[in-house]
Amino acid sequence: MVLSLLTSEKSFTNPWVGSERLNQIGLHKARMRLAAFNATLRKSQVFYRTGQWRKQFARDGFIMVENFLPENDFFRLQKEVSNAADQARQRTPSENSLTRGFGAPKAREWGIDRFDGGTLNRFIHTDRATMPETLAFSKNRKLQSLCRTIVGLPLRTSNVRIYELVHGNDEVNHDLQKDFHRDTFFSSMKFWYFINPVGIDDGPFIYVPGSHKLTPERLDWEHKQALHASKDAPNEIKGGSFRISPSALKAMNLPAPVTLTAKANTLVMADTLGFHRRGDARPGTSRLSIYSSNRPYPFSPFGI
């Protein structure tokens, strides 16, 4: 249906999104521009007082807020989240996966396991009865207002989850999230609030500052990708989460990527329209966080 052009559909297997003729005349760029315009309208409706972070986010496409919670609150939360992760591990020990690409979610009694190549993602549901600290965190006012600033939409409390990531061996089964990419054609938000420190061996988040902006170079690159994807391209490209090589990044006049190693009690929030990846890691290391994302309807001007 032609109307799929006005949805968040990103896959070039869709006959309209992936139409070669329409992409030749700039369809993909037009969708990106229209979505960016709507995101700007949404953000202009936000009156929360997060000035410093708003400016940084607008400039870089990400923010990193250290000492996010007061120390005592953090320690209580850390205890609760670590317990939840330990319990999940006891009930379902983490395994290795040799299946290539993105795996299907597997339901567990405590949440969901899903593999990216050899990397295990565990999402643990917030149990209202036994996880009061996690619940309080998902309703945190500073967190809520930061989300509104960034995507111009509120954070859904029910979508906030405990997230433990366990790195596999990339030489055995490659994790596609460890290649530079942007998630989709419009701005969306992801955050990780780190419960434990993330060192250089733990696969820290890596982001190219300023790469969320639709510069002429970027739009030109997007156009070329879209043309390729609308032809006979491999599934990875047709999927619409375009990947980019380090040399192509340099050619776009973008600054060097920054590796966001983090102390515990640090919030990292990013617009995943910018180029990013999961850092390389020593197999078996893990990252424990509270996580959420908001991928809004891209063509709505209203930030309700």
| Per-residue binder mask for ligand AKG (CB under 6 A), 191-230, x = binder | --------------x-------------------------
User: Long-range contacts made by residues 26-33, C-beta under 8 angstroms, separation at least 24?
Assistant: 26/223, 27/226, 28/185, 28/222, 28/223, 28/225, 28/226, 29/219, 29/222, 29/223, 29/226, 31/5, 31/185, 31/186, 31/298, 32/185, 32/186, 32/214, 32/219, 32/222, 33/214, 33/219
112-141 binders of ligand AKG (CB under 6 A) = none
Work out what residue 289 binds among Fe ion, ligand AKG, none; the CB cut-off runs from 5 to 8 Å by kind: none
Helix then strand then coil, in percent of the chain rounded to 5, is: 35, 20, 45
Q: State the nearest-atom distance from the C-beta of 16 to ligand AKG, in Å.
A: 25
User: Residue 224: CB partners within 8 Å, gap ≥ 6?
Assistant: none
Contact 137, 193 (CB under 8 A): yes
The residue length of the chain stands at 304
DSSP, collapsed to helix, strand or coil, labels residue 174 as coil
Instruction: Measure CA of the first residue to CA of the last residue in the chain; give whole Å.
Output: 28
Among 140, 177, 211, 225, binds ligand AKG (CB under 6 A): 177
Minimum distance from residue 72 beta carbon to ligand AKG (Å): 28
Tokens (6 digits) for 203: 């696969």
From 20-28, 43-51, 216-224, 274-282, span contacting ligand AKG (CB under 6 A) = 274-282
Which CB sits closer to ligand AKG, 27 or 198?
198
Please return the burial class of 299, using the count of CB atoms within 10 Å of its CB with bins 0-12, 13-18 and 19+: middle
- Hey, is 113 helix, strand or coil? strand
What's the closest the beta carbon of residue 190 comes to Fe ion, in angstroms?
Answer: 7
Q: Which of 113, 183, 222, 271 binds Fe ion (CB under 5 A)?
A: 183
- Single residue of 9, 183, 202, 222 touching ligand AKG by CB under 6 A: 183
Strand (E) or helix (H) holding 141? helix 141-151
Indicate the residue among 23 and 203 with the shorter CB distance to ligand AKG. 203
Options 68, 207, 278, 286; binder of ligand AKG; rule CB under 6 A: 278
Q: Which is nearer to Fe ion, 80 or 183 (CB)?
A: 183
Binding partner selected for residue 148 from Fe ion, ligand AKG, none, CB under the kind-specific 5 to 8 Å limit: none
205 binds, among Fe ion, ligand AKG, none (CB under 5 to 8 A by kind): ligand AKG
Q: Is position 190 an interface residue for ligand AKG (rule: CB under 6 A)?
A: yes
Contact residues for Fe ion (CB under 5 A)? 183
Binding site for ligand AKG (CB under 6 A): 177, 183, 190, 205, 272, 276-278
